[in-house]
């Protein structure tokens, strides 16, 4: 994966942020929607992510993120650098922890932020969604039942 955050000028970029594994798989399922956009991914440098995102521009995030304050701070610095050096049109994420600093800092810069709650959390909200929620431009869910936790959300249907 590319470890540089090159400065870009001109065409806005869609920033797709997500942990590897299921979060990344759900973002990849949006390909018909984002394929015409210039885009950049922020995810973990895992063999699976490298394989799935071959040919894409990827910025590696620091992991693990669960209960790891050091990596939260490192990802916050990463988010600040990325958002300062790029013309980001919007941040779209499915979580998990890596999303929090990107969503918070993007929203503070008045960049639209979209969170898609994962399909396997129907009865309770994820911690990441609860943390990101005050900073979101749009909350999307995959099941009508998820609107009990997020009445303002738009149901988009299942991604996988």
Domains in the chain (CATH in brackets) are 13-155 (3.40.50.2000)
Residue 51 has pLDDT above 60, yes or no: yes
What is the signed CA dihedral for 52, 42, 16, 67, rounded to 10 degrees?
A: 110
Could you tell me the pTM of the whole model? Answer: 0.91
Q: Say whether pLDDT at 2 is over 90.
A: no
Q: What are the backbone dihedrals phi and psi of residue 14, each rounded to the nearest 5 degrees, phi first? A: -90, 125
64: left (phi over 0), alpha (psi -120 to 50) or beta: beta
How does DSSP classify residue 133? G
pLDDT at 3: 44
pLDDT tens, position by position, 67-76: 889 999 999 9
Give the percent of the chain with pLDDT over 70. Answer: 94
What value does the mean pLDDT take over residues 18-31?
Answer: 94
pLDDT at 160: 84
d(CA 102, CA 105): 5
The 10s digit of each residue's pLDDT in 90-136 is 999 999 999 999 999 999 999 999 999 998 999 999 999 999 999 99
CB atoms within 10 A of CB 140: 19
């Amino acid at each position: 994966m590319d470890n540089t955050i090159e400065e870009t000028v001109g065409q806005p970029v869609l920033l797709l942020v997500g942990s590897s594994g299921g979060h990344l798989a759900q973002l990849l399922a949006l390909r018909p929607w984002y394929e015409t956009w210039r885009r950049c991914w922020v995810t973990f440098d895992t063999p699976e992510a490298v394989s799935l995102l071959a040919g894409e521009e990827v910025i590696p995030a620091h992991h693990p993120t669960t209960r790891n304050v050091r990596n939260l701070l490192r990802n916050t610095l990463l988010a600040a650098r990325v958002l300062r050096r790029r013309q980001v049109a919007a941040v779209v994420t499915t979580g998990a922890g890596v999303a929090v600093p990107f969503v918070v800092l993007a929203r503070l810069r008045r960049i639209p932020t979209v969170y898609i709650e994962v399909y396997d959390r129907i009865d309770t909200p994820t911690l990441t969604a609860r943390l990101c929620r005050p900073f979101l431009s749009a909350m999307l869910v995959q099941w009508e039942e998820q609107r009990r936790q997020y009445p303002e959300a738009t149901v988009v249907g299942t991604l996988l």
